[in-house]
Structure 1
């Protein structure tokens, strides 16, 4: 079986890095096509031994990409086409059908209650999504929350499968020596209290409110991992609050040599608590990664954890969405830390539940169901 994964772009982002991780665990021949931006994750996928094709798409309405993508699929003789992110789902499903591939799978990574991939939902993009969805075989939701939103949109229940994102937990295992080294690298005093956060620097992540909360804690540092259009606004706000020297912005993190920041496991080792103040998340991957590192977590929403029994992730505490809720939760944790609260917790059972190899196995089963009849016919003809 051969599969082509189509994604909108390969900059450093959650869906993009999840695709790279998944490719390492799928036991079949896979290529990747990116419509735009063959960025750092494309470099990583190539380093892992997979081919990456760049379609050089100029914008959402660049229809010339459709015949190029159709030709790529037809020439590659792929049994399965798997699309990721909105634009790739719309163009990829159409191109696969034109190329004669009916085993078309799409993963919905970032569908919120009122936005998709950080952009406000509209009747137009919803209608286009549903029209293209009918060209596929299965739509994969990364959480039960996303599956419910897809059903509410009008995607038929039998066409939806839930396959959660996954992590390689061993990469994040905490070691005291790693904590010491990470803090030395970042210039953080060994005994400082460090609040961490990870994500794209955009308004929806609500990192400005987190910065205000941390600025009110005596001598606390905010280690904010990521990059995006809000970077300058956050720097300006930190200056206004008088805590510019207590906010660290190392940039986007990946395990590539070109990364502007150390790998995420190193940065998590430097933290005392991870905060996720976003009101809309489709899954909440960084919360799982923090739990795998033994960190306590304060989150407003995280479907990966919120959908589980509370005893599976005791280190994750759900808080209210208002700024005062975050203030109170951080102040409480800071007081407990000052009294000698351990900086690390046992890794909870939830982390094992989301092992990436399990996600890969479930996807393989979907591929085989979607492509099985066609492959069987081809074998018979030969």
Structure 2
């Protein structure tokens, strides 16, 4: 089988990194097209031996992208097209239909009120649903997302849940890496360090982490990620008088001067995900693989499981009350600091989210989509 993956962009992000990891484990010949922004993840894919092309899409309304994509699909003689992220799903489904190709889409980022961090509008939903019908299947990265798709009106028979996956061994705690990374970042050996990972955007609510650390004099904070909120968050840390206890690392890849994400997770003592909405919660699963206690708000990777399946996790914001989110987070962190919570063995759920299992499940979706796709007009058998 030969597949073409179409994605909106290839800067550092959860969906982008997930695609790169998936390609390492899919026993399928795969090429990748990015509509725009061939960033650090594109470079990593090329280093892995994947062919990556930049379509050079100029704006959200660059309708010329559709025929360009369709020509590329025809010339590549792909058995299947797989689209990722909203814009790529809309344009890629139309192009694949024009090219006579079977198309599968993965929904990485659908929230209750947002998609890819943008507010959901009636027009956004309508365009999504109209183009969704052009595909053979839609993959949800969690049961939560599958439920949202059904609520939107996507037929249940077209939805397949394939959870995001990780390579757990890559995140295993390393004491030598912990010492080295703490020294590199100027973190005191005895300091209690809070960790956060993700795009610096409003929905991730990293401002809550900075406020909580400001209320805990003995705590430090390491934030791995970049984005439009980088400058405001630095200003907030300075305004609260904790700039000296907060480390902004920017984008952390798999190589280079900045520590890798596994190194960061070895260096910190607790992980926090305060996101208002998540479609899965990949960073939380990575933190659990590193043996970290976790405080989280929205995280379908945990919430979709039976209660009590993931020890060492604390959920905030799950009940109504007079306490605000920052106060609730501060209280949770204070409890961990005062009780001296230590690193834990990775819970069994980490194995359930193994990337190899995810790749096998996705292959089943591919096989079903190709087997049930209608024949192109030139290949239909007439009576």
| Misfit runs of 4+, over 3 Å | 373-379
Give the Cα separation in 2 of the matches to 1:374 and 1:145. 27
Query: Which of 326, 329, 334 pairs up with 1:331?
Result: 334
Number of residue pairs the alignment of both structures matches: 374
Cα displacement (A) at 1:325: 1.2
Question: Which residue of 2 is the match for residue 285 of structure 1?
Answer: 282
Give the 5 Å matches for 1:80-99. Answer: 80-99=80-99
More displaced stretch, 13-22 vs 235-244: 235-244
Partners of 2:334 and 2:238 in 1: CA distance: 22
Given that residues 219 and 246 in structure 1 are in contact (C-alpha distance below 8 angstroms), is that contact kept between their aligned partners in structure 2? no
Question: Equivalent residues in 2 for 1:112-131 (5 A)?
Answer: 112-131=111-130
Name 2:10's counterpart in structure 1: 10
RMSD (CA atoms): 1.8
Say if 2:28 is the partner of 1:28: yes
Alignment of 1:185-224 (within 5 A): 185-224=184-223
Flag structure 2 segments of 5+ consecutive residues without an equivalent: 319-324
CA distance in 1, matches of 2:373, 2:236: 58
Greater displacement, 307-316 / 266-275: 307-316
Decide whether aligned partners of structure 1 residues 72 and 256 sit closer, same or farther in structure 2, where only a CA change above 3 A counts.
farther
Residue 317 of structure 1 and its aligned partner are, at CA, apart by: 1.5
**Is 1:284–1:304's contact at 8 Å kept on the other side of the alignment?**
yes
Q: Secondary structure at the match of 1:312?
A: coil
What's 1:301 paired with?
A: 298
TM-score by length of 1: 0.95
How do residues 157-236 of structure 1 correspond to structure 2 at under 5 angstroms?
A: 157-236=156-235
* Separation of aligned partners in 2, 1:118 and 1:277: 14
Deviations 1:278-325 (A, max 9, x none): 121100000000000000000011000111123431022212262221
1:164: Cα distance to partner? 0.3
Structure 1 segment 266-285 matched on structure 2, within 5 A: 266-285=263-282
Q: Distance in 1 between matches of 2:263 and 2:21?
A: 18
Post-superposition Cα deviations, 1:66-105, rounded to whole Å, max 9, x if no partner, equal 111000000000011000000000000000010011x210
1:356 counterpart residue number: 355
